Amino acid sequence: MTAQYLLKDVRPLGGEPTDVLVAGGLVAAIGPEAGDAAENAPDDLEVIDATGMVLLPGLVDLHTHLREPGREDAETIASGTRAAAAGGFTAVHAMANTTPTQDTAGVVEQVWRLGAQAGWTDVHPVGAVSVGLAGEHLAELGAMADSAARVRVFSDDGKCVHDPVLMRRALEYVKAFDGVVAQHAQEPRLTEGAQMHEGVVSAEIGLAGWPAVAEEAIIARDVLLAEHVGSRLHVCHLSTAGSVEIVRWAKSRGIDVTAEVTPHHLVLTDEEARGYDPVFKVNPPLRTQADVDAVREGLADGTIDIVATDHAPHTREDKDCEWAAAAFGMTGLETALSVVQQTMVDTGRMTWADVARVLSTNPARIGRVEGHGRPIAVGEPANLVLVDPEQRRVVEPERQATASANSPLRGRELPGRVVATFLRGRATVLDGVPQDDPADPRFAAGRVTP
């Protein structure tokens, strides 16, 4: 028998306190009816005192690196989705730069099945745009779309689809099944050997610079291509003020473009590189404070549609070395919601309803994910996250659920704590603790069976 949960005095989307009953995989009742229904509930009803807490639809990440298959030493689908659940996510999109690459129906189905078996979140594989991410030939886009994984997002993330002809063909192809191409905007010739943002700091500390125009030029080209062919374009990890302006201009023209910003680009700047700590090495690089201010403004006004983690776990060997030899990337699944609270909610730029929009509703819409990002209403799937915004915590990467410890926020105090995460009514996290093992028989009902 699946447990039922009565959330007492919770604040849906940060609104007025009420009671919410989670039962049968659904939001079963809200308000006085929830208490009345709970009186007739079976013995497995669990009452959670949620006074002061905020209830949001389960978070959806459009940009996660789970590393499996190929780099299970850094992360597995099980450990990565466990971390996602701990961060309040109920669905994640697994990026294609695995080994082998997710460029065939067989590989994306493998990732999808492993996600379903793990049971922590729904896993939606992202298909590669090009074979082997080489940027030369289109991958099996149609076969991946028709596979059991039902792929709708395609990206060579980690590499840019730099050939404009190939990019045009991909944009045209995905229209047939309402897909979207998610572009890693990086002009390769302008970033050869680049190590960090090109600017004052890079000049002073002697690291090769990565100019903002390398990102902005690709975004400008691709929004025009998307307009030309009438297709959907998504911009991955936008990071510069100029990129915000290009996307704003494109939307004013009615071009079907969406964009994401990562949590680390909301909170960190290129000043972090002064200590030469490779934990701050990331692609695209951390930018200036002016860029951080611009992306915050773009997220607040809707120019930037979503926050996506770009969770990129690495082994100690790949990060605990000199800067030039270190891998690009940072973890972020377990701190994303706290960073958004700190930079956007606590500063008054956004409400909790806005948080639901950028971390759940919009990413679910862009990725064409059913059952997630839904309103908190009676009869809706109980994919939910319960947050205590008043609690504070110090980030300790070694105590996180992810298999890697390359968090750039080590030692920082952040607001907010995920108290509970519900995947179709089943608590994957309770009292802030992942509930091992969600893949046991209690979690089978209602899940996709691989």
Instruction: Given the residues 222, 310, 318, 354, select the one marked as catalytic.
Output: 310
Angle 29-34-39 (CA atoms, 0-180°, nearest 5)? 130
Rounded distance between C-alpha atoms, residue 287 and residue 280, angstroms: 11
Catalytic status, residue 44: no
Q: In degrees to the nearest 10, what's the CA dihedral of 91, 97, 98, 102?
A: 80
Tell me the pairing of strands 59-64 and 18-23. Answer: unpaired
Q: Do 155 and 64 meet the contact criterion of CB atoms below 8 Å apart? A: no
Q: What are phi and psi of 50, to 5 degrees?
A: -105, 30
The CA–CA distances, whole Å, from 430 to 67, 132, 272, 290, 427 equal 26, 40, 35, 39, 6
E-only strand ranges, 143-227: 153-154, 180-183, 196-197, 209-210
3-class SS letters over 355-392: HHHHHHHHHHHHCCCCCCCCCCCCCCECCEEEEEEEEE
Q: Beta strand 426-430 with 26-30: parallel, antiparallel or unpaired? A: unpaired
d(CA 261, CA 273): 20
Q: Is the dihedral of CA 321, 408, 67, 444 positive or negative?
A: positive
Find the length of the chain: 450
Query: Would you say 142 and 115 are in contact if contact means Cβ atoms under 8 Å apart?
Result: no
Hey, what are 336's tokens? 């994303």
CB 389 within 8 A of CB 418: no
Active site residues: 310
